[in-house]
């Protein structure tokens, strides 16, 4: 007994050992919260000991800073609370959305507001506020109750210990990366957190961003990439000046990116009462089609559209990074809209979800789009049981875009109906598609819900092609799923054996030879444009001319760095693209008159939606939407200022997207 007490006494004063034990406990709590299951956390520890060790050492490296303080217990407790806060926030977020908590969630105050209002009810926010208050109280108690060392800190010994711990942590993580134990590319944040653990995944989204500078990056090196005369006589690319090839034809080009749209029957262990995608399956047989390799699985819509619009691979960026949330919020980038402008196209983006989501209302300007029609500019929107807009609304908006200009149009449409999370209990009564065989009840209901959304999306595709069939201009419609749904699919239970493949089809209302080919998302647009002899754009030329070259990907990465982060050598030292004056919505929102009835003011006008709000000097006033032609003011204003009132489109997080003149 005495010997045991003696060992316990020694352990009590071995601060490094205590830090290691604390790190193990903290890591377990974080993983349990991240997996929403204590048992799954234990399973992860057992099945992935090396990954667990890396995460524990990462936590311990942060906790080791407590060695620099005389109040070591208090310092260690505070550092522990930082890690626990990450775990708790991540756990709360995962009960409300698919994407785990990451550093980009903290990038701006407005983003933080978006997260709170988007994913938490008033009750949840009250609980979070109470938790924050409890946290502050705990800090005060810890400071008062924890002891202060009677001896001075031996800084040499403490710094040496910290360096050793950091070295072990860094070495284990580096080794894990090189051995392939830890992932260095995150095509899906949910899966990355699941497979690599929360601490490492959270850290990597912080330290690794952007595109790495290529080895030997020089002007000469960049110009050596092009050997076929694609650059001008001065050795640089000038948009317009060097786009001298006349296209063979310039049809309207419509891209339709379908949210989480794949063939549900690729899951081997799930069977259905009938085919969920009969029309799309028919299109795959009759028109040009193939597999599309995408950079995401389960989530990551914005990165798929980024690749298709720019021709740049999302894999070049940091793990879990969304260029829409980083570089493209402040920099323009060569893109399909900028390229097609050289040959007379007007470019439109359409999305039946929030306009500010992924900063699209800013990013689309930096990608050269002329208009952007989002949910806030749509009327008569029907919602799914999980409150996502159904895709049928997109048909009329695509037609509006086609009718809005005289010349050819490029339209990039992003759907949302198939979005998760998918319920693990029955929600749809009398479903058209029933799951007749599944491993368990939860899988049955989640796949059944998903299959019925996909079935409705298939009907929408039929409605869209029917509407475009008789349009009096040539139209090519490129359709594909952006990624696999978040249904815990694995390579083993898929008939395709690949988590990163969806299927695309190229439909047209004119004769177009069927040519099947498997491509990547960053190649899909160049592949389509090549069919019509459209060579405008440097990256478009590169994909079309060098897709079979030995250094195809490495040179594409070098070009991407030069264009977004480098010295723009390929453009002669300066970026040739300016942000566009992005028009929000195709249909003009207008005020015809302001009338007073009784003691209330009403605004009569055109094309109002449920997101239309009366505003005055940029301040949103209390508004009642009465219909697409009338709004009611529900508060008092100075009669002398009534004529100054305008109508603003306001998204649900209170951001103003546009205001009438």
pLDDT in tens, 34-93: 998 999 999 999 999 999 999 999 999 999 998 998 888 788 888 888 899 899 888 887
Alpha helices per DSSP H over 264-353: 278-286, 301-310, 336-341
Q: Give the residue-averaged pLDDT of 523-545.
A: 96
- Pairing mode of beta strands 619-620, 612-616: antiparallel
Q: What is the band of 592 on the pLDDT scale with cuts at 50, 70, 90?
A: very high
Output DSSP code: residue 565: T
Distance CA 148, CA 139 (A): 15
pLDDT of residue 143: 64
Q: How far is CA 614 from CA 415, 443, 594, 623, 627, in A?
A: 29, 46, 11, 6, 14
The three-class DSSP label of residue 631 is strand
**Ramachandran region of residue 480, left (φ > 0), alpha (ψ -120 to 50) or beta?**
beta
Q: Give the residue-averaged pLDDT of 468-479.
A: 96
pLDDT of residue 111: 45
Q: Which two tokens stand for residue 268?
A: 């081997």
Q: Which two tokens stand for residue 155?
A: 């800084």
Distance CA 657, CA 591 (A): 17
Closest of 462, 479, 469, 359 to residue 411, by C-alpha: 479
Output DSSP code: residue 619: E
Q: Which two tokens stand for residue 364?
A: 């689309």
Output the 3-class SS for 230-247: CCCCCCCCCCCCCCCCCC
pLDDT of residue 145: 67
pLDDT of residue 7: 47
pLDDT in tens, 334-361: 999 999 999 999 999 999 999 999 999 9
Is the pLDDT score of 127 beyond 80?
Answer: no
Which helix (H) or strand (E) element contains residue 604?
strand 600-606
pLDDT of residue 102: 79
Percent of the chain at pLDDT above 70? 91
Percent of the chain at pLDDT above 90? 72
Q: What is the band of 489 on the pLDDT scale with cuts at 50, 70, 90?
A: confident
Question: How far, in whole angstroms, is CA 590 from its chain's centroid?
Answer: 33
List, in order, residues 6 or more apart from 151 with CB less than 8 Å away: none
Specify the higher pLDDT residue, 366 or 242: 366
Rg, C-alpha atoms of the chain: 28
| DSSP secondary structure letters along 475-543 | EEEEEEESS--SS---GGGBSS--TTEEEEEEEESS--------EETTTHHHHHHHTTT---SHHHHHH
pLDDT of residue 208: 81
* Phi, psi (rounded to 5 degrees) for 631: -125, 145
Q: Give the residue-averaged pLDDT of 407-436.
A: 94
Distance CA 199, CA 208 (A): 14
Q: What is the band of 100 on the pLDDT scale with cuts at 50, 70, 90?
A: confident
Q: Would you say how long the chain is, in residues?
A: 661
Specify the higher pLDDT residue, 115 or 536: 536
pLDDT of residue 109: 43
- Answer yes or no: are the C-beta atoms of 335 and 352 closer than 8 Å: no
600 forms beta bridges with 597
pTM: 0.86
pLDDT in tens, 277-289: 999 999 999 999 9
The three-class DSSP label of residue 296 is coil
Look over the chain and give the mean of its residue pLDDT values, rounded to a whole number. 90
Q: Which two tokens stand for residue 260?
A: 């989480």
Output DSSP code: residue 429: S
Distance CA 201, CA 191 (A): 10
Q: What is the band of 118 on the pLDDT scale with cuts at 50, 70, 90?
A: very low
Specify the higher pLDDT residue, 250 or 107: 250
End-to-end, the C-alpha distance of the chain in Å comes to: 84
The three-class DSSP label of residue 572 is coil
List, in order, residues 6 or more apart from 15 with CB less than 8 Å away: 66, 67, 72
Q: What is the band of 101 on the pLDDT scale with cuts at 50, 70, 90?
A: confident
Crossing angle of helices 198-207 and 49-63, in 10° steps, is 60
Distance CA 410, CA 404 (A): 12
Tokens 């929102």 locate to: 589
Q: Which two tokens stand for residue 142?
A: 């810890």
Tokens 């990039």 locate to: 412
Q: Which two tokens stand for residue 361?
A: 């209302």
Q: Which two tokens stand for residue 58?
A: 């990462």
Q: Give the residue-averaged pLDDT of 634-660.
A: 93
């Amino acid at each position: 007994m005495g010997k045991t007490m003696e060992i316990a006494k020694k352990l009590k004063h071995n601060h490094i050992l205590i830090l290691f034990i604390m790190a193990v406990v903290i890591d377990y709590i974080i993983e349990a919260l991240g997996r929403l299951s204590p048992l799954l956390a234990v399973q992860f520890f057992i099945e992935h000991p090396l990954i667990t060790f890396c995460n524990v050492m990462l936590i311990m490296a942060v906790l080791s800073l407590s060695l620099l303080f005389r109040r070591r217990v208090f310092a260690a407790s505070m550092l522990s609370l930082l890690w626990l806060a990450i775990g708790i926030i991540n756990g709360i977020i995962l009960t409300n959305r698919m994407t785990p908590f990451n550093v980009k969630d903290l990038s701006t105050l407005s983003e933080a507001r978006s997260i709170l209002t988007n994913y938490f009810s008033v009750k949840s926010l009250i609980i979070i506020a109470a938790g924050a208050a409890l946290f502050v109280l705990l800090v005060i108690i810890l400071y008062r109750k924890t002891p202060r060392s009677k001896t001075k800190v031996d800084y040499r010994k403490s710094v040496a210990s910290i360096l050793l711990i950091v070295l072990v942590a860094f070495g284990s993580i580096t080794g894990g990366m090189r051995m392939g134990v830890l992932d260095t590319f995150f095509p899906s944040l949910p899966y990355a957190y699941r497979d690599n653990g929360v601490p490492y995944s959270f850290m990597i989204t912080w330290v690794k961003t952007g595109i790495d500078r290529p080895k030997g990056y020089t002007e000469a090196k960049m110009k050596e990439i092009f050997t076929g005369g694609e650059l001008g006589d001065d050795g640089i690319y000038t948009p317009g000046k060097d786009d001298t090839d006349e296209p063979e034809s310039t049809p309207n080009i419509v891209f339709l990116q379908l949210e989480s749209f794949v063939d549900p029957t690729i899951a081997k262990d799930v069977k259905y009462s009938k085919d969920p995608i009969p029309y799309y399956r028919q299109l795959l047989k009759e028109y040009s089609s193939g597999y599309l390799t995408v950079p995401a699985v389960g989530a990551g819509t914005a990165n798929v559209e980024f690749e298709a619009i720019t021709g740049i691979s999302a894999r070049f960026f940091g793990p879990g990074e969304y260029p829409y949330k980083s570089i493209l919020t402040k920099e323009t980038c060569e893109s399909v809209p900028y390229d097609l402008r050289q040959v007379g196209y007007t470019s439109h983006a359409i999305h039946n979800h929030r306009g500010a989501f992924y900063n699209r209302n800013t990013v689309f300007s930096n990608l050269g789009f002329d208009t952007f029609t989002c949910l806030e500019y749509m009327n008569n929107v029907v919602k799914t049981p999980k409150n996502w807009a159904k895709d049928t609304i997109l048909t009329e908006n695509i037609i509006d875009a086609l009718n809005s200009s005289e010349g050819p149009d490029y339209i990039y449409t992003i759907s949302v109906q198939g979005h998760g999370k998918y319920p693990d209990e029955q929600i749809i009564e009398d479903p058209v598609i029933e799951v007749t065989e599944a491993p368990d009840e939860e899988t049955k209901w989640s796949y059944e819900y998903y299959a019925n959304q996909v079935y409705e999306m298939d009907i929408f595709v039929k409605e869209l092609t029917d509407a475009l069939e008789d349009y009096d201009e040539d139209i090519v419609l490129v359709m594909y799923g952006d990624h696999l749904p978040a249904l815990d699919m694995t390579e083993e239970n898929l008939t395709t054996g690949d988590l990163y493949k969806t299927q695309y089809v190229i439909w047209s209302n004119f004769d177009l030879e069927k040519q099947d080919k498997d491509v990547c998302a960053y190649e899909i647009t160049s592949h389509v444009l090549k069919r019509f002899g459209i060579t405008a754009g440097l990256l478009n030329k590169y994909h079309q001319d060098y897709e079979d070259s030995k250094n195809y990907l490495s040179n594409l990465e070098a070009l991407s760095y030069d264009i977004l982060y480098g010295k723009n050598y390929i453009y002669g030292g300066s970026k040739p693209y300016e942000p566009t004056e992005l028009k929000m919505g195709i249909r003009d929102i207008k005020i015809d008159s302001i009338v007073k009835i009784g003691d209330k003011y009403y605004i009569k006008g055109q094309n109002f939606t449920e997101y239309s709000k009366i505003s005055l000097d940029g301040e949103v006033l209390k508004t009642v939407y009465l219909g697409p032609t009338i709004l009611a003011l529900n508060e008092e204003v100075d009669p002398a200022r009534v004529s100054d009132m305008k109508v603003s489109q306001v998204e649900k997080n209170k951001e103003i997207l546009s205001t009438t003149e």
